[in-house]
Each structure stands twice: as structure tokens, then as C-alpha cells.
């Protein structure tokens, strides 16, 4: 019985660590129509994106000094999705363009309180929103 209580305690402790906020996690509020209807508010860190109750594991692939987004040129971070898959989000809307998202590019738009996010399905790391596999653009604020 004692080992059973200890095991239950250990499982609870592991679960709380797994839910802990990773270093560098930021909360963002949906601003654009696509963000409001697909992802809702998000939490983003160098290791994961949490949107609409879904967690997407990512790794930092590159920091680009001049990424050409659909709204302008900004310094950006390219995140590689570690396990690409199709993800249903709010109201059954799919994140991406009916294919597994492989890349997520994030950048600050103008002020530090505005975030742009673009997603890609292609095999090659994107360097511009004009690159093959562009799926969608989302905007957030805080």
C-alpha cells in the first residue's frame, strides 16, 4: 500500500512537471480572422506551440535576419515541427492547408506586442512567404 501511494505521488509529480511552462513561453491573443477562427489565443515557446488545446512540438531551425512575410520584411525565427501531422483546431478548422504543417515562421510585426506567424507544408525550410508550401498567415497581439 505504501508503494502504491508513493507511485501515485510520483505520477502526479511527473504530470505537474510535464505541464510546467517551458522557458521562454509567451502568451498571445488572436488578432487576425484566421487566428480567431483557427487557433484562437496561443502559447508559444522554442519547444512547442499550444493552440486550440493542441500541442505541436517544435525545434528552432534558424533565425533569419530578413524574412519576407506577406506584410513586410522582419527578423524571424523558423520552427521545425518535430512530428508533422494534420491538426484540427477550433470549429473543426485545420491548421495549415489540408496537409501536415512542417514549418512555422514567427516574427514581431513593428511593435514588440504584435506577432506574425506563417505556416508551411513543404519539405524545404522557408525563407520567404513566397516559398513553396505556404499555407497560411496568422496575427496575434498582447
pLDDT band, residue 67 (cuts 50/70/90): very high
pLDDT, average across residues 77-97: 93
Q: Can you list the alpha helix ranges (DSSP code H) found in the chain?
A: 2-18, 33-34
The alpha carbons of the chain give a radius of gyration, in whole angstroms, of 17
Higher confidence at residue 17 or residue 142? 142
Q: How many angstroms separate the CA atoms of 3 and 36, rounded?
A: 47
- Dmax over CA atoms of the chain, in Å, equals 63
pLDDT band, residue 66 (cuts 50/70/90): very high
Q: What pLDDT does residue 17 have?
A: 36
Q: What pLDDT does residue 8 have?
A: 39
Q: How many angstroms separate the CA atoms of 134 and 90, rounded?
A: 20
Amino acid at each position: 500500500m505504501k508503494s502504491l501511494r508513493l507511485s501515485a505521488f510520483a505520477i502526479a509529480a511527473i504530470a505537474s512537471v510535464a505541464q510546467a511552462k517551458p522557458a521562454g513561453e509567451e502568451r498571445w491573443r488572436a488578432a487576425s480572422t484566421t487566428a480567431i477562427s483557427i487557433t484562437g489565443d496561443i502559447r508559444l515557446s522554442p519547444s512547442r506551440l499550444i493552440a486550440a488545446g493542441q500541442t505541436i512540438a517544435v525545434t528552432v531551425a534558424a533565425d533569419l535576419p530578413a524574412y519576407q512575410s506577406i506584410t513586410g520584411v522582419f527578423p524571424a525565427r523558423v520552427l521545425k515541427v518535430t512530428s508533422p501531422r494534420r491538426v484540427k483546431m477550433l470549429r473543426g478548422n485545420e491548421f495549415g492547408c489540408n496537409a501536415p504543417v512542417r514549418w512555422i515562421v514567427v516574427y514581431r510585426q513593428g511593435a514588440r506586442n504584435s506577432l506574425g506567424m506563417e505556416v508551411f507544408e513543404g519539405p524545404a525550410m522557408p525563407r520567404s512567404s513566397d516559398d513553396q508550401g505556404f499555407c497560411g498567415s496568422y496575427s496575434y497581439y498582447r
